[in-house]
Structure 1
Amino acid sequence: MSQLTVALDMMGGDHGPSITVPAAAQALSLLPGLNLLLFGPQPVLSPWLQRVGLSDHPRVRVYHCSQLVDNEHKAAYALRHLTDSSMRRALDALARGEAAACVSAGNTGALMAMAMKVVDRVPGVDRPALITRLPQNNGGYALLLDVGANVSCDAGQLVQFALMGEQASRHLLAQPAPRVALLNVGAEANKGTEAVRQAARQLAAMADFRYVGYVEGDDLFSGRADVIVCDGFVGNVALKTSEGVARLLLGAGRRRGLLWKMLTFWLKKRLSHLNPDQYNGASLIGLRASVVKSHGSAGSPAFLNAILQAVAEVEHHLPASIAHRFDTAPQDSHAR
C-alpha cells in the first residue's frame, strides 16, 4: 500500500486505550505505509502509548482532546456540545482531508449525527447505513445493511441501501455481479411490510441490477445472496443474535470435562470463521469519506480488523464508487 492516513477515536467503546492503543500498534507493524492520527486525552493516552512504544513513533501523531462521548449521551447533545471530543476531532480531521478514513468504537448515534454534519453525505443518499460482513457456509462473505444506523426505513431508503451494498460488494468482496436480496419474514411476494414490498418492486424493475428476491433469517449464512438489505432495527437484531450464537458455540469449552473440551476443539476448528472478532467493523457508507464503526465491546484483534477495514475501503475507493453509482442510477431508483 502507498502512504495512507487513518484517524482513530482512541476513547470509544467499553475499554478505550487498553484496546485501541495495542490495536494501533499492531496495525502500524502490519502496514508500513500506514500513518495514524490518535485522538484522546493526553494524560490517559500517554501511559498506554509508552507501554507499546508509540510515544515517539514517526508515523503517529497524537491530538489532545478535552471531552469524551459516552454511550449515555444523546446524539443531539454530542453534536452540539462535544466538539472537542475524540470522536468529533477525528471526524474533523477526516473532513479536512488530513485523514482518508476514521475509525471509532463509540456511541453509534453520536457517530452517525457527527459524521452526517461534518463529513456530509453522497448526493442522492438520504441517510448513511451501517454495513457489515457475514460469513457464509461456502467460506466467503455476504454484506448485511443496515445494522443499526436507521431503525425505521421507507422503501426509497431500502433501495438506496441496495445500491450502496451492491457497490460495496463489487469493490470490497470482488463480486462482479452481486446478488442483492431483501430480508423478509417469508419468500412470498405478499409477505412483509409495505416498505419492503415497495422496495422489492422497485429493485425488480431496475436494469443492470441482480435482485434475487426475499431471503429469510435462516438464509443469512447460506450463500444465497451477496448483499442482504433490511432496516436498522431488523439488521441489528439479526447481527447481534448471530454473534451471540457464535460466541455460545465457540465458548462451549468453558464447561468442564474431556467431552466438552473435545467438542470445543472441533467447534473452533469448524466454526472459527463465525468468530465476530474476525469481521468486526461496520462501515457507515453513503458518506463522502470512509467512517468505520467498531463494536463497543471489541477487543484489540477486533479493533485491528476495523482499522484494516477502513484501509481496504480507501484503497478500493468505496465512497467514490458509491457516488458514481448514484450518478448513473435511474432517477426513480433513488425513490426519494
Structure 2
Amino acid sequence: MKIAVDAMGGDNAPEVVIAGVEQARDAFNDVEFLLYGDENKIKPLIKDDTRLTLIHTTEKVESTDEPVKAIRGKKQASMVLAAQAVKNKEADAVLSLGSTGALLAAGLFIVGRIRGIDRPGLMPTLPTTDDKGFLMLDVGANAENRAQQLLQYAIMGNFYAQDLRDIKQPRIGLLNNGTEPNKGDKLHQETFALLDADKDLNFVGNVEASSLLSGVADVVVTDGFTGNATLKATEGAARTILSLLKHTIMDNGVKAKLGGALLKSDLKGLATKFDVSRYGGAALIGLKAPVVKAHGAADAKAVYYAINQIRDMVTNQTIQKVVDYFEAHPEMVTKTTKEA
C-alpha cells in the first residue's frame, strides 16, 4: 500500500514526520510512502530512501490560513497534493499533522465524501483506566449536527471498533447530561430514539462525561461542538493532574522526592496510560479513503502510531465496509445528502 504524507504539516515538521515515517517503514515492509514537501528541507533528514518517494512542493498550508481558501488557492501545497494523490489512485491514504480544518476541507473537496454520509466526523481514540480506550466522534469537524448524522457516526464508529480494535459488539453510548432515556435537548432525545431502534448496534444508552475514562462505552457519539469541548477538557485535566503530581513530588522536600523515586515506574505507567498518541491520530470518518490527522505537536513515535493505524484501516478495508453498508441502506441517506 502507499500512504501520502504531508511532510510539512505540524509544529515540528518536517523533522518528526520524516523520523516517524522511517520508523514505520522499517517496521512494515508492505508500506510505501509518498512524501510531499520542500525537498531542500526534507532530503537532508532522510537516512534511507528505501520505499520513500519525495515529491517537491512549493507551498504549505499554514495554521493561520483560512482552511477552504488555502485548499482551493494553494494548489501546490503539500497537503493539497497529498490529498490529490489519493483522489488520483496514486495513494491509498493521507496523513497530516497540519491544520485540522484544512485537512477536512481537503478531504471533502479532493478525496470526496462517501455517498450517503451527510457530514464526515473527526474521531480520535481516547484513553481509559483499563487501557482499552474508546472512540469518540465528532470532536470538532462540525459545529452542529442533526440526529440522523449522529446515527451515521455510530454506524461508522461501530465498523472502526470492530475492524481496528477487534471488538465484536462495540458498546455504543450517546454523550448526554444524564443516563436516563429522556435526558437532554431535542437533538439528544431524537438521537437516542434512532440509536435505540437500530438493531445492528449494541446501544448502551446515554453516558455522562464523568464516566468516559472509566470505559463505559467503546464508541461515544456526540455533536462536534460538545465533542470538541469534552476532548479539550479531558486532555487539559489529564495534563493538569500529571503536572500537579510532578510538582508535589519535586517541591516538597527530600521525603517527597524519595517517595517519587520509589514510585518512578508507576508514575511513568500513569503518564503512558493517558498518552493519546499511542492510539494513533484522529480519523476523518466519512471520506472515500483513510484521512488521518495526527496532533500538530506530535513526536516521531506518534507519527509511527498514526501510520500503523492507517495501515490497519487499509488492510481491513474499513472504508469499503462503510461504503457497502450505506449503499445497501439507502434509507440512511438524509435529505441534505440527497440534495448535495
- TM-score scaled by structure 2? 0.91
Residue 173 of structure 1 deviates from its aligned partner by 1.1
1:37 maps to what in 2? Answer: 34
Query: SS at the partner of 1:221?
Result: helix
Counterpart Cα distance in 2 of 1:195 and 1:201 = 10
> Which one of 50, 54, 63 corresponds to residue 58 of structure 1?
50
Q: Which residue of 1 aligns with 2:289?
A: 289
Mean Cα deviation higher: 212-221 or 235-244? 235-244
Find the residue that maps to 2:198 and give its secondary structure: coil
- 2:246 is matched with which residue? 253
Q: Distance in 1 between matches of 2:269 and 2:105?
A: 40
Question: What is the rounded CA distance, in whole Å, between the counterparts of 1:294 and 1:285 in structure 2?
Answer: 14
Contact 1:249/1:267 (CA < 8 Å) preserved in 2? no
Q: Which residue of 2 aligns with 1:177?
A: 169
Distance (whole Å) between structure 2 residues aligned to residue 64 and residue 150 of structure 1: 32
Tell me the residue number matched to 2:105.
113
CA distance in 1 between counterparts of 2:264 and 2:188 reads 40
Alignment partners' CA distance in 1, 2:136 and 2:173: 10
SS at match of 2:8: coil
Post-superposition Cα deviations, 1:24-59, rounded to whole Å, max 9, x if no partner, equal 11111111121110000111212222xxx13xx231
1:143-179 CA distances to partner (integer Å, 9 max, x unpaired)?
Answer: 1111121121111211111111111111111122221
Compared CA separation, residues 297 and 270, structure 1 to 2 (3 A): closer
Q: Contact 1:102–1:291 at 8 Å: present in 2 too?
A: yes
Question: Is contact 2:280-2:308 (8 Å) kept?
Answer: no
Question: 1:285 deviation in Å?
Answer: 1.0
Question: Structure 2: any 5+ residue segments left out of the alignment?
Answer: 251-256
User: 1:124 matched to which residue of 2?
Assistant: 116
Aligned 8 A contact 2:127 2:276 in 1: no
Residue 307 of structure 1 corresponds to 307
Q: Does 1:90 align with 2:87?
A: no
Aligned residues: 328
Residue identity matched to 2:154: A
Distance in 1, matches of 2:159 and 2:331, equals 17
Cα distance change on mapping 1:323 and 1:218 into 2, 3 Å: same
Within 1, Cα distance between the matches of 2:329 and 2:58? 44
Q: Which amino acid aligns with 2:290?
A: S
How much does 1:323 deviate? 1.0
- Matched residues in 1 for 2:267 and 2:321: separation? 39
Paired residue for 2:17? 20
Q: Would you say 1:239 and 2:236 are equivalent positions?
A: no
Aligned-partner Cα distance in 2 for 1:20–1:287: 23
Task: Quote the sequence identity (%).
Answer: 36
Uncovered stretches (5+) of structure 1, i.e. residues with no partner: none
TM-score, normalisation: structure 1? 0.92
Answer whether contact 1:147 1:239 (CA < 8 A) is retained. Answer: yes
How does 1:130-149 map onto structure 2 within 5 Å? 130-149=122-141
C-alpha spacing 1:43/1:278, structure 2 compared with 1 (3 Å): same
Aligned to 1:269: 269
Per the alignment, residue 323 of structure 1 pairs with 323
Query: In the alignment, what sits opposite 1:216?
Result: 208
Q: Tell me if structure 2 keeps the 8 A contact 1:149–1:232.
A: yes
Alpha-carbon offset, residue 326 of structure 1: 1.5
